[in-house]
């Protein structure tokens, strides 16, 4: 175990975790909502430091990050635990286990070894993903420091619910982030996600203002957030943060506690794409759907494909120093 960052002591050995916007008050012998931070005799400890539950080599496009070193590999790592309890979680076996059965599974892998594996695999970055990276912050932070020294970039795939303190700490070594903006109402976040909307919106803006490359993903869940009004609010928010911020709209597949909810209809995904365009978002991608033609990056000025993709595979890049290879228009992103 490792003593946690971001907590303060209250009375009677109770501590308040300051890692995310739940700000859990944790009594001795108890854990926070994430299930992986425990109060032991008045001190808060991370139960997952150096304890990976998954690590593998992925295309960066799988995160998804489409404007961040396209065509490169990213070494992905996760521990057990999550500070949300999404009813549709596709990785619930590892994200929810510490909350449901109290078990913190994993295998010992040091930060140095994670970086060594990434370098040996020819990766350009390390992605903290699969579960919420905020809950294994201390582990991710130590990896990220070493990764930067070795010439690797760091990216989070996050629900965006971390505290401002946590953002400020990781910002100097965080190069990119994909934030799940899961809906646009507090009711949806409370009932379906187990969180709150406003901190996520505030954090997306703040991360963007810090100069960290930001992309946003929305999983479109039938019966919950697929109506035009909800999608329009999300699209307008994204364009308000920056019209160059890519928006990924993804197809829902039944998982976890939403196995009775049908797949997202293709026409709803197409409509989301159009709503995004109407809101001024320059780069919109449709995920979890094959052969719909919405995976490639298109120059917003001349309309030609500058990064051609099929699934997670990049087949051609027509960029010159971050500009369209046809008309010279600047294409926002991290390309080198």
| pTM reported for the whole predicted model | 0.97
| In a shared domain, residues 30 and 114 | no
Region 166-183 average pLDDT: 98
Q: How confident is the model at residue 291 (pLDDT cuts 50, 70, 90)?
A: low
How distant is the alpha carbon of residue 188 from its chain centre?
19
| In a shared domain, residues 317 and 261 | no
Boundary of a domain, candidates 278, 294, 310 = 294
Per the prediction, the chain carries an average pLDDT of: 97
Question: What is the total count of domains within the chain?
Answer: 3
Predicted local distance difference test score (pLDDT) of residue 139: 98
| In a shared domain, residues 152 and 182 | yes
Instruction: Say if residue 293's pLDDT is above 90.
Output: no
| In a shared domain, residues 39 and 82 | no
| In a shared domain, residues 16 and 106 | no
| In a shared domain, residues 55 and 190 | yes
Predicted local distance difference test score (pLDDT) of residue 34: 97
Instruction: Say if residue 292's pLDDT is above 90.
Output: no
Q: Which residues contact 330 (CB under 8 A, 6 or more apart)?
A: 322, 323, 324
Region 207-212 average pLDDT: 98
Distance set, CA 32 to CA 24, 79, 228, 325 (Å):
6, 16, 36, 50
| In a shared domain, residues 236 and 246 | yes
Instruction: Say if residue 84's pLDDT is above 70.
Output: yes
| In a shared domain, residues 290 and 306 | no
Region 174-196 average pLDDT: 97
Predicted local distance difference test score (pLDDT) of residue 311: 84
| In a shared domain, residues 28 and 131 | no
Domain hosting 30: range is 2-46
Rounded to an integer, what distance in angstroms lies between the CA atom of residue 188 and that of residue 132? 19
pLDDT in tens, 241-261: 999 999 999 999 999 999 999
CATH at residue 285: 3.20.20.70
User: What phi and psi, each to the nearest 5 degrees, are found at residue 107?
Assistant: -135, 150
Region 7-15 average pLDDT: 97
| In a shared domain, residues 287 and 145 | yes
Instruction: Say if residue 133's pLDDT is above 70.
Output: yes
Instruction: Say if residue 68's pLDDT is above 90.
Output: yes
| In a shared domain, residues 209 and 187 | yes
Instruction: Give yes or no for a contact between 115 and 150, defined as CB atoms under 8 angstroms apart.
Output: yes
| In a shared domain, residues 133 and 202 | yes
């Amino acid at each position: 175990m490792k003593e946690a960052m971001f907590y303060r002591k209250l009375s009677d050995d109770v501590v308040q975790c300051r890692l995310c916007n739940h700000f859990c008050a944790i009594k001795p012998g108890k854990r926070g909502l994430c299930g992986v931070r425990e109060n032991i005799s008045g001190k808060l400890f991370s139960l997952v430091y150096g304890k990976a539950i998954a690590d593998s080599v992925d295309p960066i496009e799988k995160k998804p990050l489409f404007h961040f070193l396209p065509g490169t590999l990213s070494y992905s790592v996760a521990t057990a635990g999550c500070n949300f309890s999404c009813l549709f979680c596709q990785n619930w076996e590892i994200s929810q286990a510490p909350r449901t059965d109290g078990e913190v599974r994993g295998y010992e892998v040091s930060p140095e070894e994670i970086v060594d594996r990434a370098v040996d695999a020819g990766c350009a970055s390390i992605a903290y993903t699969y579960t919420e990276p905020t809950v294994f912050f201390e582990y991710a932070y130590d990896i990220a420091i070493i990764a930067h020294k070795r010439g690797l970039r760091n990216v989070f795939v996050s629900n965006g619910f971390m505290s401002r303190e946590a953002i400020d700490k990781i910002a100097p070594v965080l190069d990119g982030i994909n934030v799940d903006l899961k809906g646009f109402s507090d009711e949806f976040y409370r009932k379906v996600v187990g969180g709150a909307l406003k901190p996520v919106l505030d954090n997306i803006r703040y991360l963007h203002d810090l100069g960290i490359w930001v992309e946003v993903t929305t999983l479109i869940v039938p019966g919950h957030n697929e109506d035009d009004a909800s999608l329009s609010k999300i699209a307008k928010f994204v364009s308000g943060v920056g019209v160059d911020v890519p928006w990924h709209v993804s197809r829902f597949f039944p998982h976890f506690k939403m196995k009775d909810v049908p797949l997202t209809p293709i026409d709803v995904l197409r409509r989301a794409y159009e709503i995004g365009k109407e809101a001024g978002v320059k780069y919109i991608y449709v995920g979890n759907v094959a052969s719909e033609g919405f995976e490639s990056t298109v120059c917003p000025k001349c309309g030609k494909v500058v990064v051609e993709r099929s699934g997670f595979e990049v087949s051609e890049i027509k960029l010159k120093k971050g500009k369209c290879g046809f008309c010279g228009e600047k294409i926002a992103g991290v390309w080198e």
